[in-house]
Amino acid sequence: MLNYIAVYLISFVLRQPTFNPGRTGQRSPAVSADATYPLLIPEWLVPGNTFRLHWGFVVAVLAAWFVWWLLERSTVGFEIRAVGANAKAARTAGMSVGRTTIITMVVAGALAGLAATAQVLGTERSLTAGVAASYGFDAITVALLGRSRPWGTFFAGLLFGALKAGGFLMQSLTQTPIDIVLVVQSLIVLFIAAPPLVRTIFRLPAPSAARPRSRRAVKEAAA
């Protein structure tokens, strides 16, 4: 809900002479070459290289590893998962739900800012009012496809990034409408969301709950 506040705040800042001297548009001065992410394949190594992948990709890999370690190997991560699963049970167990919520929001905001550096310091090389584009909404779909797991979300982001980047090339070379990429992305989300939705509508048990128990479990339950 703070997206529009952030967008218009950036637009306001870009209009200020102290931040953006000598410019009236919605683009900041170019970032110094010393502050940008270098390309993974330098131009001096491959002349005429148009491959724009930079070291921001490595930062994304490290960030995914950090989130995995934080959630799966740390006490703070255990509290985050516990509060996310059942805040009342976590509070009963002695966890501070408010403190955990604040930590989660701080970490999420830091990761969002780190993701923005890849766009500003690696691809665009300047700050614009629309630098985030629709990435925030795409991230919801990516997280859904990745089952809200760090590495699942990472590989889902690679898939959607390949679809979006390849869509423009496909349109220019084969005249295929780029809307087909949106259709494929929507079908992926539909197939992922359909099973839980159908189970909810028809009140069907989850697959794990529907599995038959072993004979030993049945005997123990009968005893």
pLDDT of 71: 93
Question: Is the CB of residue 122 less than 8 Å from the CB of residue 55?
Answer: yes
Strand partners, 27: 128
pLDDT of 185: 80
Boundaries of every domain in the chain: 1-133, 143-223
The packing angle between helices 97-118 and 75-85, to 10°, is: 110
pLDDT in tens, the chain (223 residues): 677 888 888 888 888 877 777 666 678 888 888 888 988 877 766 666 677 788 899 999 999 999 999 999 999 999 999 999 899 999 999 999 999 999 999 999 999 889 888 888 888 888 887 777 777 778 888 888 888 899 999 999 898 888 887 887 787 777 778 788 888 888 887 887 777 777 777 777 766 654 555 555 444 544 5
- Quote the CA–CA distance of 150 and 66 in Å, as a whole number: 9
Q: Model pTM? A: 0.77
The dihedral built from the CA positions of residue 120, 125, 126 and 131, taken in this order, carries a sign that is: negative
- Quote the CA–CA distance of 114 and 21 in Å, as a whole number: 26
Question: Is the CB of residue 71 less than 8 Å from the CB of residue 23?
Answer: no
Question: Is the CB of residue 142 less than 8 Å from the CB of residue 156?
Answer: yes
pLDDT of 122: 86
pLDDT of 25: 66
